[in-house]
Chains A and B, each alone.
Chain A
Amino acid sequence: MNISMDVGIWIAAALTLFIFSFLYRDNPLYKFAEHLFVGVSAGFVVVQQFWQVLWPNLIQPAVTKGTPEVWKFYLGGLLCVLLFTRLFQGISWMSRYTIAALIGTFAGLKVTGFAQAEVVEQVRATMVPLWTGDLGSSINNIILVVGVITTLVFFFFSKEHKGAIGATARVGIWYLMVSFGAAYGFTVMSRISLLIGRLMFLLDEWLGIVRF
């Protein structure tokens, strides 16, 4: 055992244990850590946005002499300032222009991004031969094509799920259930990994019992 002598490690370990104490029941130590976490996170994000985004991408070029097309930084700055009018009743309507520019940009990016990557490419990748000359890969391709079509039919709500559509949608549900099951299995893996990470910290960096 080679316990840490670093104050920072001790504070980190204490905060870790404060949060774990919630598993026993809600208590003041947990509440303290919870509020400290929100405060530290919010403070961290503001400082980071300033030094890593607003400073290099807006303020620094706007105040530096000789920046080409400096007007675009002024206009960008104006859009940012308008956003803050949301805090003041009476002039909050001004923020609409910033929101409009932002929403328009994101809508445009999403439309083309989804069309290309999620629709065109995915449909193309589903256009596979149902007989490849090899039984195994042919069955896999059939499973894929049937799964994509039946899942899409399940999400088709403009027509009542009865008769042939109902039966197809039923198969789609089975596919979805398999998919949700796999997702659940992976979610368990993720959550357990996070716990492993914290216990590794306590055993290694704090208590020095095992080195990872």
Chain B
Amino acid sequence: MMNLLPVVLTAIVGIVVILSFFVPHPYIAEPAQKLQDWAIVIVASGYVLGAANVYKVNGESAIKRQKDWLYKWVLLGSMSGMMVVGFFFSGGTQFLNEGSPFKWAYDFLYVPMQATMFSLLAFFIASAAFRAFRIRTVDAALLAVAALVVMIGRVPLGNLFTAALPEPIQLPTMANWLLEWPQNAAKRGIAIGAGLGVMATGLRIILGIERSHMREEA
């Protein structure tokens, strides 16, 4: 019974949401809308739960002085600091308005660190291009040609190289054609396949055949 009830609940909820796509009557539309309202706050609670988990996992290794314990204190301290500032010293719902201490932390801590973390990938993709991009087969050759045409054809310097040639064989034209036709065809094939896959998985969940999400861990 304990296992059956959530499965039945999933089925009812899933069917109501699917029906709301086809039936605009308030008897269906309103419950579906309520479910979406709840989903919004449940996902938000999920983030808070995630943060509690960050405390649990990192707090343990910080207290037990495991590897990198000093850095764990940096993590826990900055996380707690952000929360204290955001909850108590930044004007409540106006916490992200210009001039609030929380907005200051966003501008000068969060933004530069996140942006720089991701910008590191520019260096690694260049290094990988040299070391790992090997044209061993016809398939790899097709991949390389498409990559080079798009890479060079989508920037001004690439335009300059072939500017003297007739328009249909200029690099930007070739890059755009490649994106709009063969590339598009493959992406559409993947999209239709993935669409059918998601529909099948969704129905398996709603019908209770797929239940892996019901496992709970403490």
Partner-B contacts on A (CB < 8 A):
8-9, 11-13, 15-16, 19-20, 22-23, 31-58, 72, 75-77, 79-80, 83-84, 86-90, 92-93, 95-112, 114-119, 122-123, 125-126, 140, 143-152, 154-155, 172-182, 184-189, 191-192, 194-195, 197-198, 201
Q: Are the C-beta atoms of B47 and A45 separated by less than 8 Å? A: yes
- Given the interface contacts A100-B214, A105-B39, A180-B143, does A119 sit within 8 Å of B196 by beta carbon? yes
Q: Are the C-beta atoms of A12 and B195 separated by less than 8 Å? A: no
> Which residues does chain B contribute within 8 Å of A32, judged by CB atoms?
71, 74
**Total residue contacts A-B, CB cutoff 8 A:** 410
Interface of A is mostly: helix
- Given the interface contacts A44-B106, A107-B14, A185-B151, does A96 sit within 8 Å of B216 by beta carbon? yes
Q: Are the C-beta atoms of B186 and A179 separated by less than 8 Å? A: yes
> Which residues does chain B contribute within 8 Å of A75, judged by CB atoms?
38
Q: A160 CB to closest chain B CB, in angstroms?
A: 18
> Which residues does chain B contribute within 8 Å of A99, judged by CB atoms?
6, 213-214, 216
* A/B interface sample: 7 pairs, CB < 8 A: A41-B114, A97-B5, A105-B35, A111-B198, A178-B183, A182-B179, A194-B119
Contact of B38 among A76, A88, A122 (CB under 8 A): A76
> Which residues does chain A contribute within 8 Å of B139, judged by CB atoms?
173-174, 177
Residue B29 is within 8 A (CB to CB) of chain A in the complex: no
Given contacts A92-B218, A198-B112, 11 further A-B contacts (CB under 8 A): A41-B114, A79-B38, A100-B6, A111-B14, A118-B194, A126-B188, A148-B185, A177-B142, A178-B183, A182-B183, A188-B125
Please measure, in the bound complex, the distance between the C-alpha atom of A44 and the C-alpha atom of B78, giving whole angstroms: 10
Q: Are the C-beta atoms of B2 and A36 separated by less than 8 Å? A: no
Q: Are the C-beta atoms of B39 and A174 separated by less than 8 Å? A: no
Please measure, in the bound complex, the distance between the C-alpha atom of A33 and the C-alpha atom of B109, giving whole angstroms: 9
- Given the interface contacts A15-B113, A102-B39, A194-B118, does A87 sit within 8 Å of B218 by beta carbon? yes
Please measure, in the bound complex, the distance between the C-alpha atom of A19 and the C-alpha atom of B118, giving whole angstroms: 10
Q: Are the C-beta atoms of B146 and A96 separated by less than 8 Å? A: no
Interface of B is mostly: helix
> Which residues does chain B contribute within 8 Å of A58, judged by CB atoms?
41
Q: Are the C-beta atoms of A104 and B10 separated by less than 8 Å? A: yes
Closest to A184 in B: B147
Contact of A179 among B7, B125, B151, B187 (CB under 8 A): B187
Please measure, in the bound complex, the distance between the C-alpha atom of A80 and the C-alpha atom of B77, giving whole angstroms: 26
* Contact-residue size bin, chain B (C-beta under 8 Å from the other chain): 35 or more
Q: Are the C-beta atoms of B182 and A179 separated by less than 8 Å? A: yes
Please measure, in the bound complex, the distance between the C-alpha atom of A110 and the C-alpha atom of B52, giving whole angstroms: 29
Contact of A185 among B32, B95, B154 (CB under 8 A): B154
Residue B63 is within 8 A (CB to CB) of chain A in the complex: no
Task: List CB contacts (< 8 Å) of B53-107 with chain A.
Answer: 53-54, 56, 68, 71-72, 74-83, 86-87, 92-93, 95-96, 102, 104-107
- Given the interface contacts A108-B13, A114-B199, does A53 sit within 8 Å of B216 by beta carbon? no
Contact of B18 among A43, A111, A123, A126 (CB under 8 A): A111
The 3 closest A-B pairs by CB, nearest first: A147-B185, A43-B82, A151-B189
Q: Are the C-beta atoms of A108 and B18 separated by less than 8 Å? A: yes
Map CB proximity to A onto B16-50 as digits: 1 under 8 Å, 0 otherwise.
Answer: 11101100000000001011111111111111111
Q: Are the C-beta atoms of A122 and B192 separated by less than 8 Å? A: yes
- Given the interface contacts A15-B109, A47-B86, does A118 sit within 8 Å of B104 by beta carbon? no
